């Protein structure tokens, strides 16, 4: 659809989005002199066999929404057809869809969920009372206006009591949110909307949908099994919410709530009783904004296990503390209400200590094995940087996080460069970010607590570990775990890696080959030809045995780590690689098995490299004598 200036009487201003056969524009009504959202279908783009059905459905959407006048339903002002287009003029909502909102704010506060649920169920009750069943309630069909009000939109597959366009046997809806009867092709009624609304609420309070997978898998689960109780996914949820959502998600419509007000009465009462924390202080948000309560830590752990780099096993956790398997975290701030909020946020997952000044914090560190300390920077007496510097001396295995404003940039840079701080969180901070950083630090702290003081503590090297990865997750973990052993350097790509190697003696390379791709494997092969003393540890999700065998043969990879990475194993491999490198320095003859012999196949293996990278590798000087010249 090219540039369009006008559809009907409406002047096109901007393109807002598209879905299915329709495109939504921001448009201007010159008669009424107001901005509208104009949903239009270009008839010429419709397949002849589908044209009648799609246009009938589009007209039915206008009829369904047009008969509804409610503050939480997008109003329809006009419907029309011309030679090229069928179009519908609707209320223009300044805001975003609920799924877009959740992408930015993934852990809404329970009070916000309660408010949204009340509006959604009130809108559904109004629609049902007027004979309209939506049949496709989902976050992308719920608009969140800038004033916090929600608007239900897209009645594209709504059923109107007087309509006979669709029949039993039609399967219409979005799989994640569809009721069992919709999957089975049975007639959908108002109780199907109640089921879909319950799926939305489940996702809001837990951070995950009840069922996951492809359409066939979701269908099987929706029809046959109940999802995990929300309180098992988010530890902050009361059992009363489990019972209410279980009823709303019942397989048979007759077993569900029979009306939206009935569901709302019990749900809103249960959500009202859930804890509310004053997070305005933590996030620096104005009182006019709704505070956000971070999602349950069990959910965070599940998400990290699915998509993150690191993994902390139950065995590692239980060995790291003697407090029922909970890791210890110490928060330091001179404002008691901030400490109270932090306790509420983290106590379900960790054994939480709090201190109001540096001296008190140091006393805790001296008395207890603390895995993570999180300190504010600006405190009377001892600043956060000074405190973390002392903690590093007292307890090198404790992972240190600094909370600070950007005005403290010099302190931040100095403390990071000197290894005194693992990571910093800028103020005002986001609860989700803080939770994820603490979870990452806790996994590292558990490994350090377990291994500190063991034989590996004696390994020291001036040569560095070089981490090659697009992200800094691996680098932060490697830096924290290897700080007492050797320098740790970072490169986002291969060209940066060569530059680092020209300036720093590198003993070990830790590379995510999923990020560097085919050129990354060529780099490792060429590196082994030019510098056999460098030991490579590869991080990958690859299960292709042929590719892995090729890397072993052509690059003599020292160790492989599968994702999600076990941090304890990663540390063991890095320390062992350092020991091997030191052995090469002492006895260059040990390098002979490491060297890749020059051959057409070996030369071919390195052809995937760009010229600057290849030239950079050739220019590197070796710190180890050639094994051929060794005595």
What is the C-alpha to C-alpha distance for residues 331 and 346, in angstroms, rounded to an integer? 10
CB 353 within 8 A of CB 370: yes
Q: Is the pLDDT of residue 175 over 90?
A: no
- Position 247 scores a pLDDT of 96
Selected catalytic residue, list 125, 136, 376, 469 = 136
What is the average pLDDT across 459-474? 85
Strands of 34-42's sheet in order across: 6-7, 10-19, 22-29, 34-42, 85-91, 76-81
3-state class of 511 per DSSP? strand
The answer as to CATH 3.40.109.10 being correct for domain 6-91 is no
Length of the chain counted residue by residue: 631
Most confident of 190-199, 414-423, 528-537: 190-199
For the segment(s) 455-629, the CATH number from 1.10.40.60, 1.10.1740.10, 3.40.50.2300, 3.40.50.150 is: 3.40.50.2300
- Examine domains 297-451 and 455-629 and report if their fold is the same: yes
The whole-number pLDDT of residue 249 equals 95
Q: What is the pLDDT of residue 325?
A: 60
pLDDT at 371 over 60: yes
DSSP 406: G
Asked which of 118-132, 328-342, 588-602 is least confident by mean pLDDT, the reply is 588-602
pLDDT band at 305 (very low <50, low <70, confident <90, very high): very low
Q: Strands of 559-562's sheet, edge to edge?
A: 488-491, 464-468, 506-512, 535-540, 559-562
Please state whether 584 falls in left (phi above 0), alpha (psi between -120 and 50) or beta: alpha
pLDDT at 332 over 60: yes
CA distance 9 to 34: 12
pLDDT band of residue 190 (cuts 50, 70, 90) is very high
What's the rounded mean pLDDT across residues 132-156?
87
Q: Report the range of poorest mean pLDDT among 220-229, 435-444, 487-496, 599-608.
A: 599-608
Domain map (residue ranges) of the chain: 6-91, 95-273, 297-451, 455-629
* Amino acid 534: pLDDT: 84
Contact 355, 331 (CB under 8 A): yes
Mean pLDDT (whole number) for 508-533? 80
84 carries an active-site annotation: no
What is the rounded CA–CA span in Å between residue 593 and residue 254?
73
Residue 291: which pLDDT band, with cuts at 50, 70 and 90? very low
Question: Is the pLDDT reported for residue 197 higher than 90?
Answer: yes
* pLDDT tens digits, one per residue of 72-127: 998 888 888 888 888 988 899 988 999 888 887 766 778 889 999 999 999 999 98
Would the pLDDT of 246 be above 90?
yes
Average pLDDT, the chain: 76
Q: Which two tokens stand for residue 304?
A: 């990290």
Tell me what the mean pLDDT of segment 477-491 comes to.
85
- In angstroms, the Cα distances linking 560 to 517, 542, 543, 563, 578 are 16, 10, 11, 10, 16
The pLDDT assigned to 407 comes to 52
| Domain range 95-273, its CATH number among 3.40.1160.10, 2.30.110.10, 3.20.20.450, 1.10.510.10 | 1.10.510.10
Instruction: Say yes or no to pLDDT of 276 above 50.
Output: no
Question: CATH number of 297-451: 3.40.140.10, 3.40.50.2300, 3.60.15.10, 3.30.70.270?
Answer: 3.40.50.2300
**pLDDT at position 195 over 90:** yes
Identify the residue with better confidence: 292 or 81. 81
Query: Apex CA 626: angle with CA 590 and CA 570, to 5°?
Result: 50
Strand partners, 35: 28
Question: What confidence score (pLDDT) does residue 494 get?
Answer: 86
């Amino acid at each position: 659809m090219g540039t369009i200036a006008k559809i009907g009487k409406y002047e096109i201003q901007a393109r807002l989005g598209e879905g299915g056969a329709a495109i939504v524009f921001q448009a201007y009504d010159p008669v009424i002199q107001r901005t509208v959202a104009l949903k239009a279908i270009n008839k010429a783009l419709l397949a002849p066999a589908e044209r009648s059905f799609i246009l009938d459905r589009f007209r039915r959407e206008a009829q369904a929404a047009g008969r509804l006048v409610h503050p939480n339903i997008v109003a329809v002002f006009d419907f029309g057809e011309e030679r090229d287009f069928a179009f519908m003029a609707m209320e223009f909502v300044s805001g975003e869809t609920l799924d877009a909102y959740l992408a930015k704010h993934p852990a809404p506060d329970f009070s916000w969920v309660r408010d949204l649920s009340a509006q959604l169920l009130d809108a559904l009750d109004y629609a049902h009372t007027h004979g309209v069943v939506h049949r496709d309630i989902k976050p992308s069909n719920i608009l969140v206006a800038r004033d916090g009000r929600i608007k239900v939109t897209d009645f594209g597959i709504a059923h109107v009591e007087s309509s006979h366009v669709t029949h039993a046997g039609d399967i219409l809806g979005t799989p994640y949110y569809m009721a069992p009867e919709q999957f089975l092709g049975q007639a959908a009624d108002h109780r199907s909307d109640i089921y879909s609304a319950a799926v939305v609420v489940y996702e809001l309070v837990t951070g995950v949908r009840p069922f996951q997978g492809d359409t066939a898998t979701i269908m099987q689960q929706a029809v046959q099994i109940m999802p995990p109780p929300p309180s098992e996914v988010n530890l902050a949820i009361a059992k009363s919410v489990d019972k209410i959502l279980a009823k709303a998600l019942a397989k048979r419509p007759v077993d569900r709530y029979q009306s939206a007000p009935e569901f709302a009465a019990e749900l809103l009462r249960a959500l009202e009783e859930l804890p509310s924390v004053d997070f305005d202080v933590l996030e620096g948000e104005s009182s006019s904004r709704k505070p956000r309560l971070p999602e349950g830590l069990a959910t965070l752990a599940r998400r990290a296990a699915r998509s993150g780099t690191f993994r902390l096993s139950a065995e590692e956790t239980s060995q790291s503390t003697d407090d029922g398997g909970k890791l210890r975290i110490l928060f330091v701030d001179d404002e008691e209400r901030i400490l109270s909020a932090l306790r509420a946020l983290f106590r379900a997952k960790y054994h939480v200590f709090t201190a109001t000044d540096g001296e008190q914090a140091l006393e805790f560190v001296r008395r207890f094995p603390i895995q993570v300390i999180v300190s504010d920077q600006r405190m009377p007496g001892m600043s956060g940087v000074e405190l973390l510097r002392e903690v590093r001396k007292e307890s090198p295995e404790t992972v240190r996080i600094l909370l600070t404003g950007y005005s403290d940039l010099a302190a931040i840079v100095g403390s990071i460069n000197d290894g005194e701080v693992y990571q910093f969180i800028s103020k005002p901070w986001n609860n989700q970010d803080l939770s994820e950083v603490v979870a990452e630090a806790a996994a590292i702290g558990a490994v350090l607590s377990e291994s500190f003081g063991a034989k590996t503590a004696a390994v020291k090297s001036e040569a560095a570990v070089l981490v090659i990865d697009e992200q800094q997750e691996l680098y932060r973990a490697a830096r924290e775990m290897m700080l007492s052993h050797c320098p740790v350097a970072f490169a986002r790509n291969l060209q940066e890696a060569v530059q680092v190697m020209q300036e720093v003696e590198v003993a070990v390379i830790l590379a995510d080959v999923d990020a560097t791709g085919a050129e990354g494997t060529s780099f490792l092969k060429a590196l082994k030809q030019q510098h056999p003393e460098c030991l490579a540890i590869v991080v990958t999700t690859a299960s292709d045995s042929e590719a892995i065998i090729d890397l072993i043969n052509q690059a003599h990879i020292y160790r492989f780590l599968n994702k999600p990475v076990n941090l304890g194993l990663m540390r063991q491999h890095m320390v062992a690689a350092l020991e091997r490198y030191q052995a090469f320095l002492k006895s260059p003859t040990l390098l002979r098995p490491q060297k890749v012999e020059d051959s057409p196949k070996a030369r071919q293996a390195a052809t995937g490299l760009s010229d600057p990278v290849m030239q950079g590798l050739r220019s590197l000087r070796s710190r180890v004598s050639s094994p051929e010249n060794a005595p």
